[in-house]
Each structure stands twice: as structure tokens, then as C-alpha cells.
Amino acid sequence: MMKAGEKMKGKPWATIQYHKSYTFDMTSMFINMIRGFLTDIVMVFLLCLILSKFSAPSFNLILISCLFVGAISFLYVPYANYMWYRIFDMYGYLIDAIAGWGLTGIWLGWWMTKKNK
């Protein structure tokens, strides 16, 4: 294996994904969008449950907590896969995680602290 690995070092390589059949219809795309949206709602609800356990959480604490969730979500799947399979859009995943959870943190920071004022 070491000999074969050295022989292939620096040469191009590819990965192949096999799918049993290709389907393209708007119904399945719409259903997947709904499933993704519901998953997002569940994730934010679970985060709200965690944040509500803090005694008098501040805007900054909520924002930083949300950014940590974004970092964890980035490191868990996209970056862990990137270590093995170099993909071209790694920075896109990072921006999606930090920007999305950062905006969530800004909104939750405002929403969860407005009742304390």
C-alpha cells in the first residue's frame, strides 16, 4: 500500500457516486425544501431550549453561543469530510455556517433579551 501510495502521490484522482435512478420533479424538490426548513426550525428550537437554561442570558452570550453552534456544525461534517476528500467549496460551507448561525444569534439575542428589558 505504501508503494502504491507513493506512486500515486501528486497525481489527479476522482470519486464516483452511484445513484440507482435519476429523478427530477418539482414535487420531490419542494418536499426536500420543506424537510430542510422543518429541520432548521427544530435545530433553532433545540438551541433555544439550551439558551433558556442560562440565567439571564445577554445578547453577546447568545450571539457567541450561536456562533459556536455554527462552528461545531461546520467542523462536524464538512470539514471532517474535507480532510479526506478535498472539495472546492470548503469556504462556502464555512461562510454558510458562520453567517447563518451568526444571523440566528443576532435575531435570538434580540428576541430572547427584549423580554428582560
- Domain for residue 109, yes or no? yes
Alpha carbons 65 and 19: distance in angstroms, whole number: 38
| Residue 50, φ and ψ in degrees, nearest 5 | -65, -45
In this structure, what C-alpha cell is assigned to residue 58? Answer: 445577554
- Domain for residue 45, yes or no? no
- Domain for residue 80, yes or no? yes
In this structure, what C-alpha cell is assigned to residue 68? Answer: 459556536
Q: How many domains does the chain have?
A: 1
- Domain for residue 91, yes or no? yes
| pLDDT by position in tens, the chain (length 117) | 889 888 888 888 887 888 888 877 888 888 989 999 999 999 999 999 999 999 888 999 999 999 999 999 999 888 888 888 777 788 999 999 999 999 999 999 999 998 665
pTM strictly above 0.85: no
Q: Tell me 10's DSSP state.
A: T
Range of the domain at 98: 58-117
Calculate the CA 108 to chain-centre distance. 18
- Domain for residue 43, yes or no? no
- 47: which residues sit within 8 A by CB, 6+ positions away? 65, 66, 69, 104, 108
Exposure string over 39-66, b if 16+ CB within 10 A, otherwise e: eeeeebeebeeebeeeeebeeebbbebb
